[in-house]
Amino acid sequence: MGSAMDIVEQAARDVLERMFRGLFWGVLFVAGVVGAVALLLLVIALVRLWRRRWAIVQEERQERRRRYDADGTPRPAYGRGLCDVCQKADEQTYHLSDGRRLCPACYPKRHEARVSETSSTKEHV
């Protein structure tokens, strides 16, 4: 049998072993929680970045639709004015190079008529 000193040493080793094992699992748990929180923050940041980029792309598309026709030709300058066709006052009246002014409702009709005239003259040539 061991002496009293050996029994005390063995008991101290057992206590230290259990303490370090508990400390190991505690540190592992805290590291897991910190890792999960970091992953969650990363996902939130990526989602916010994606949404911001999507909003910028949507704004660019809207600006392009406002500045260019469906066929890609640039629309004329616009500003506040009175439409020459329907006599409606609008914040976005197109000021054409020939001096006429058209509202957003009348401009596409004129543009479509101009495009159909261009395509019919190309057929006759």
CB 75 within 8 A of CB 95: no
CB 106 within 8 A of CB 83: yes
74 strand-pairing partners: 68
d(CA 105, CA 113): 14
| Tens of each residue's pLDDT in the chain, 125 residues | 568 778 878 888 888 888 888 888 888 999 999 999 999 999 999 999 999 999 999 999 998 988 888 788 888 888 888 988 898 888 888 888 888 898 888 888 776 666 565 555 555 44
CB 78 within 8 A of CB 95: yes
Structure tokens at 65: 């639709």
d(CA 4, CA 73): 99
In the numeric block, the tokens 């509202």 are attached to 103
Half-sphere exposure (Cβ direction) of 100: Cα atoms closer than 13 Å: 10
DSSP letter assigned to residue 73: P
**What is the maximum span of the chain, computed from C-alpha positions, in angstroms?**
118
CB 108 within 8 A of CB 71: no
Q: Where are the domains of the chain?
A: 1-67, 77-124
pLDDT at 36: 97
